[in-house]
Each structure stands twice: as C-alpha cells, then as structure tokens.
Amino acid sequence: MSAIISDTLIILSDLHLGPGWRHGELGSLFGQHWLLRLFSLDKKLSQYLEQGLAAHDPSVTGDLPLYLSTLLWKLKQEGYEKEDFDFHVVLGDVVTWPDERSFDFARRYLSWNWVEDIAGLGLHREKLLMIPGNHDKLFKSNLFLYHEFARHVRVEPQPQPGRSYLVSKPSGNREFLFASIDASVYCGKNLQISKVEDLDRLTNFELLSCRDHIARGKVTEELINELVEKIVRLKRGESVDGAHLKDYPTATKILMIHYALDFKKVVSTSLWKSLSNFAVPHECNGIEVLLERVKGEFDLAVHGHLHSPKVYYCGSLPVIAVGTSAQRTTESPRSFYLIKLTESGKIFAEHHHWPQDSNGFKRDTNEALTCELAPPRAA
Ligand SMILES: [Fe+2]
C-alpha cells in the first residue's frame, strides 16, 4: 500500500482486565454451583467457560503500549504526519469481572502512561471512544460501575442500557461520527455476585436464567427507532447527543457495537461451537432489523465479543470483528486493529496479533484480515 495515510484509528476490544497487574486469575469456576460442576464433566466446555472468565495476560497488557508506540513510529516513517493516532476505540468487555478493583485498574491502565512502573496506554480522553460489553455489567441490572469508570477516565456520557449515544469528532479536514450502541441484555435485578465463589448462592433458576443475559445481545425496537430518529436529526443539521456534523454526506460514519452483526459469519458452525453457544448464547437478537433500518448510513461497523477477528460484509457494509486484545487464553490469538484512511477516503484494515507461538504482537499478513475494505454502496 503506497498511498499516504491521513487518519488512523486503533480498535481494541475485550481487554478483560483483572483487578491489578498480577491479579488476572479469578479462581476456579467449577468448585462452585452443582450445575457448573456438571458442565465441568465435559473438558472442552469447562475450558470454554473458564476461559470466558479469565482476565488479562500481564505480559500482553505490558507489551501493548510499547507495541503501539513502535507502530506509530513506523507509520511516521511511511509518511503519516500526525503525532498520535487520531482515535482509540475500545469495544467493550474492558474488565472481566465488573467490580470496583477491576474498573480501578482499567482506569489507570487506560489513562495513565505508567501504572506501578509498567507502561499504561495513556489514552487521551478526547481521542478515546468506548462502549460497554456484557462483562462490564455481568450479573448486574445496570451500568452503574461502568458509568463510574467512564466518568473517571472522563469519557462521558456513555450510552444508557439498551440505548445509543452519538459523538462527532473532527480530524484534520475530515469529520467522524461514532454511533455507540449498547445492545446488552440485563438482569432483572442485581444478583449480588461480587466474586466467583458467590455463584454458589444462586438458585438453580437464577443460574439457568443467566443464559439469557450473561453474553447475549438484543436490539430493541426502541433502540432502532431512537437511532434512526437521531440520524434524521443529524442530517437536518441539528445537534444530537455529542454530535454535530457540518456535512453529513462526507463525514466518515462508524457504528460501534459490542455484539456481532452477523454471528454466523464470525463463528464456525461446528458441533462443538453450536454446543458451547447453546450453553451460553452469544448472538444479538434483532441486529438484522437495525442493519436494515440504517442501511447506507455507515461507512464501517466494528464489534468485538466473539474473540475471533474477521473482516466481513453485511450487505455492502464493511464490518471488522476484533478479537480479544489482552485476555489470557489458549484458544484465540490476542488481536487489535489499526484502521488507516487515505485522503481520498480509502479504508485499510490492518490486523495485529500475538500468535500462540510468539512472544509479542506483530502485523498479521493474512490477507483475509489485513486488507482494503470495499466502500459501502449507497442505499
Ligand atoms: Fe463480550
């Protein structure tokens, strides 16, 4: 790729931060409720569930800030003229376990340059875009702790549960619109689960009903109508949430959601994957209706959640699925994206990963993951 890059975004997702540098582990899930012990009879399923609750790998979180600095330096060597990436986008599941200690570590890691003598990301609040994921409200009926965390990193306001929030940001000659969507399903009431051991206190019904809200997404009619109305108002030149665009048609419009826009295009249809998804459903109901109603409005959609990097299309809308950027896992490579835009509006997706047999991040040469995106066609 020889075109000069004018704008850049770093897309992180599913950091799954724990309560401190060295405190990623959360204890065994299967010494707990008898139903969970039943799951443990299947080795693959138990490994899947335990990895879902694993926190960050300290060597990955420690290396990421240094790797991003090196990446920026290389971009400058190639002609990129800015002193930093334009935006950092964090697509939810900032923490694995939504307690005060984990969010406090997340606050320091995201916003400080150094945390206990180890490099932090030091992200500038004006350049930081975030949305919550299912882990950021695990067993909770609201986003109270996540919103407190957002307030402390001074990225506010954030979408309310089941709602959207729009923000516009200038970058050089270009305007960006970021539409944040919260499509999480919430508990009817807080389940008072503050540590893994508390799972024992759940009734059988409460534990089984977790299938409905623990990892599943849902886009409601209210959310769709709200987003469509906001887009109409923006097009009329009105201010909406934190967004106001001088020229709607030429702005680069990005849809940010934690859940997959097309689950089946990201996750394989193997029997094992179907079984694990039956145990803990990860789809997002109603997402296809939202995509139909906002057809032609966005240039790019980005999501996380499935820990499986992928570039795919919903109709003509390019979609980037980001893997987990830091979780301790034996299954998925750690993953983030660098999005590059040229002056003429071409978009390149560059996948960076930490393969299992490696000791650091590197640019992914797989052309299915590192590629130019086809521009969406007008509706
Ligand atoms: Fe998630």
Which pLDDT value is given to residue 326? Answer: 92
Tokens matching residue 75: 């971009």
Domain assignment of residue 312, given as a range: 5-373
* Alpha carbons 98 and 55: distance in angstroms, whole number: 11
* Alpha carbons 99 and 95: distance in angstroms, whole number: 9
In a domain, 54, yes or no: yes
Ligand 1 centroid from CA 32, angstroms: 22
Which pLDDT value is given to residue 2? Answer: 63
In a domain, 171, yes or no: yes
In a domain, 378, yes or no: no
Domain count, the chain: 1
pLDDT tens-place string over residues 260-288: 999 999 987 777 777 778 888 999 999 99
* Alpha carbons 61 and 67: distance in angstroms, whole number: 10
Ligand 1 centroid from CA 94, angstroms: 9
Decide: 64 and 121 in contact? Cβ < 8 Å: yes
Ligand 1 centroid from CA 275, angstroms: 18
* Alpha carbons 110 and 188: distance in angstroms, whole number: 31
Ligand 1 centroid from CA 304, angstroms: 7
Angle at 225 between CA 221 and CA 226, to 5 degrees: 115
Ligand 1 centroid from CA 341, angstroms: 27
| pLDDT < 70: residue spans in the chain | 1-2, 22-46, 377-379
Write the burial class of residue 204 (CB in 10 Å: 0-12 exposed, 13-18 middle, 19+ buried).
exposed
Task: Identify the bridge partners of residue 215 per DSSP, sorted by sequence position.
Answer: none
In a domain, 165, yes or no: yes
Tokens matching residue 7: 């704008």
* Alpha carbons 6 and 3: distance in angstroms, whole number: 9
In a domain, 93, yes or no: yes
Ligand 1 centroid from CA 95, angstroms: 10
Ligand 1 centroid from CA 369, angstroms: 20
Ligand 1 centroid from CA 260, angstroms: 10
Decide: 375 and 297 in contact? Cβ < 8 Å: no
pLDDT tens-place string over residues 114-171: 988 889 999 999 999 999 999 999 989 999 999 999 999 999 889 999 999 999 999 9
In a domain, 179, yes or no: yes
Which pLDDT value is given to residue 379? Answer: 47
pTM for the model stands at 0.93
Among candidates 181, 171, 102, which has minimal Cα distance to 135? 102
Ligand 1 centroid from CA 280, angstroms: 11
Ligand 1 centroid from CA 305, angstroms: 4
Ligand 1 centroid from CA 136, angstroms: 9
Ligand 1 centroid from CA 41, angstroms: 24
Which pLDDT value is given to residue 74? Answer: 97
Among candidates 103, 107, 3, 81, which has minimal Cα distance to 346? 3
Lookup result for tokens 């694990």? 276
In a domain, 14, yes or no: yes
Ligand 1 centroid from CA 201, angstroms: 24
H/E run at residue 311: strand 310-314
* Alpha carbons 163 and 183: distance in angstroms, whole number: 7
Ligand 1 centroid from CA 72, angstroms: 28
Ligand 1 centroid from CA 348, angstroms: 25
Which pLDDT value is given to residue 53? Answer: 78
Ligand 1 centroid from CA 324, angstroms: 9
DSSP SS3 for 151 = helix
Ligand 1 centroid from CA 112, angstroms: 24
Which pLDDT value is given to residue 252? Answer: 97
In the structure, how many helices (H) and strands (E) does the chain have? 10, 17
The 3-class SS string of 172-236 reads CCEEEEEEEECCECCCCCCCCCCCHHHHHHCCHHHHHHHHHHCCCEECCHHHHHHHHHHHHHHHC
Ligand 1 centroid from CA 377, angstroms: 30
Ligand 1 centroid from CA 52, angstroms: 9
CATH of the domain at 214: 3.60.21.10
In a domain, 379, yes or no: no
Ligand 1 centroid from CA 184, angstroms: 9
